[in-house]
Structure 1
Protein backbone atom coordinates (compact mmCIF):
# COMPACT_ATOMS: atom_id res chain seq x y z
CA UNK A 1 0.00 0.00 0.00
CA UNK A 2 2.75 2.48 0.84
CA UNK A 3 4.33 1.97 -2.59
CA UNK A 4 1.08 2.96 -4.31
CA UNK A 5 0.88 6.09 -2.18
CA UNK A 6 4.50 6.90 -3.02
CA UNK A 7 3.81 6.39 -6.73
CA UNK A 8 0.73 8.66 -6.61
CA UNK A 9 2.66 11.41 -4.84
CA UNK A 10 5.59 11.13 -7.25
CA UNK A 11 3.12 11.40 -10.14
CA UNK A 12 2.09 14.81 -8.80
CA UNK A 13 -1.31 13.82 -7.46
CA UNK A 14 -3.02 15.40 -4.47
CA UNK A 15 -3.94 12.49 -2.19
CA UNK A 16 -6.64 12.51 0.51
CA UNK A 17 -7.50 9.82 3.06
CA UNK A 18 -10.38 8.64 0.88
CA UNK A 19 -8.02 8.36 -2.09
CA UNK A 20 -5.67 6.30 0.07
CA UNK A 21 -8.49 3.97 1.02
CA UNK A 22 -9.65 3.48 -2.58
CA UNK A 23 -6.23 3.28 -4.28
CA UNK A 24 -4.16 1.41 -1.75
CA UNK A 25 -6.53 0.05 0.87
CA UNK A 26 -4.84 2.14 3.54
CA UNK A 27 -7.10 3.19 6.39
CA UNK A 28 -4.29 5.11 8.08
CA UNK A 29 -2.80 7.25 5.35
CA UNK A 30 -1.26 9.64 7.89
CA UNK A 31 0.87 6.80 9.26
CA UNK A 32 2.03 5.91 5.75
CA UNK A 33 2.82 9.57 5.05
CA UNK A 34 4.86 9.74 8.27
CA UNK A 35 6.92 6.72 7.22
CA UNK A 36 7.52 8.25 3.78
CA UNK A 37 8.65 11.48 5.45
CA UNK A 38 10.98 9.53 7.73
CA UNK A 39 12.51 7.90 4.66
CA UNK A 40 13.28 11.36 3.26
CA UNK A 41 10.31 12.09 1.01
CA UNK A 42 9.25 15.77 1.33
CA UNK A 43 5.49 15.22 1.64
CA UNK A 44 3.51 18.42 2.26
CA UNK A 45 0.15 18.54 4.04
CA UNK A 46 -2.42 21.01 2.80
CA UNK A 47 -6.14 21.54 3.35
CA UNK A 48 -8.79 21.16 0.66
CA UNK A 49 -12.52 21.78 0.76
CA UNK A 50 -14.82 18.92 -0.19
CA UNK A 51 -18.58 18.98 -0.63
CA UNK A 52 -20.92 16.20 0.49
CA UNK A 53 -23.89 16.07 -1.89
CA UNK A 54 -25.88 13.85 0.45
CA UNK A 55 -25.83 16.22 3.43
CA UNK A 56 -25.10 19.43 1.57
CA UNK A 57 -22.13 20.24 3.79
CA UNK A 58 -18.67 21.48 2.91
CA UNK A 59 -15.70 20.41 4.99
CA UNK A 60 -11.97 20.96 5.03
CA UNK A 61 -9.86 17.83 4.97
CA UNK A 62 -6.10 17.20 4.84
CA UNK A 63 -4.49 16.28 1.54
CA UNK A 64 -0.91 15.31 0.78
CA UNK A 65 1.38 16.19 -2.13
CA UNK A 66 5.06 16.73 -2.96
Structure 2
Protein backbone atom coordinates (compact mmCIF):
# COMPACT_ATOMS: atom_id res chain seq x y z
CA UNK A 1 0.00 0.00 0.00
CA UNK A 2 1.08 3.57 -0.57
CA UNK A 3 -0.43 6.81 0.66
CA UNK A 4 -0.26 10.25 -0.96
CA UNK A 5 -1.50 13.33 0.83
CA UNK A 6 -3.61 15.30 -1.65
CA UNK A 7 -4.86 18.15 0.49
CA UNK A 8 -4.49 19.07 4.15
CA UNK A 9 -5.28 21.85 6.53
CA UNK A 10 -5.47 22.04 10.29
CA UNK A 11 -8.53 19.81 10.75
CA UNK A 12 -9.15 18.14 7.39
CA UNK A 13 -7.12 15.95 5.10
CA UNK A 14 -7.63 14.07 1.85
CA UNK A 15 -5.34 11.18 1.03
CA UNK A 16 -5.10 8.73 -1.86
CA UNK A 17 -4.60 5.14 -0.80
CA UNK A 18 -3.24 2.84 -3.52
CA UNK A 19 -3.34 -0.89 -2.85
CA UNK A 20 -1.36 -3.23 -5.10
CA UNK A 21 -2.17 -6.94 -5.10
CA UNK A 22 -0.45 -10.00 -6.52
CA UNK A 23 -1.41 -10.56 -10.18
CA UNK A 24 -3.62 -13.53 -9.33
CA UNK A 25 -5.55 -11.42 -6.78
CA UNK A 26 -6.63 -8.66 -9.15
CA UNK A 27 -5.92 -5.16 -10.34
CA UNK A 28 -4.60 -2.34 -8.11
CA UNK A 29 -7.27 -0.41 -6.23
CA UNK A 30 -7.14 3.30 -5.39
CA UNK A 31 -9.49 5.18 -3.09
CA UNK A 32 -9.67 8.70 -1.71
CA UNK A 33 -9.97 8.84 2.05
CA UNK A 34 -11.30 12.02 3.66
CA UNK A 35 -10.40 12.64 7.30
CA UNK A 36 -11.47 15.14 9.93
CA UNK A 37 -9.67 15.81 13.21
CA UNK A 38 -11.70 15.92 16.41
CA UNK A 39 -9.44 17.09 19.23
CA UNK A 40 -6.31 14.99 18.72
CA UNK A 41 -8.01 12.08 16.90
CA UNK A 42 -8.29 11.79 13.10
CA UNK A 43 -11.53 10.16 11.93
CA UNK A 44 -12.46 8.90 8.48
CA UNK A 45 -15.70 10.48 7.32
CA UNK A 46 -15.78 9.47 3.66
CA UNK A 47 -14.14 6.96 1.34
CA UNK A 48 -14.58 7.40 -2.41
CA UNK A 49 -13.90 4.49 -4.76
CA UNK A 50 -11.90 5.22 -7.87
CA UNK A 51 -15.00 5.03 -10.06
CA UNK A 52 -16.52 8.02 -8.23
CA UNK A 53 -13.46 10.27 -8.03
CA UNK A 54 -10.99 11.90 -10.41
CA UNK A 55 -8.04 9.82 -9.24
CA UNK A 56 -5.19 10.20 -8.68
CA UNK A 57 -6.05 13.77 -7.67
CA UNK A 58 -9.10 13.13 -5.43
CA UNK A 59 -10.46 16.57 -6.35
CA UNK A 60 -14.03 15.67 -7.17
CA UNK A 61 -15.54 16.54 -3.76
Superposition TM-score, scaled by structure 2 size: 0.27
Relative contact order, CA 8 A, sep 6+: which one is greater?
Answer: 1
Structure with greater proportional strand content: 2
Q: TM-score scaled by structure 1?
A: 0.26
Higher helix fraction (1 or 2): 1
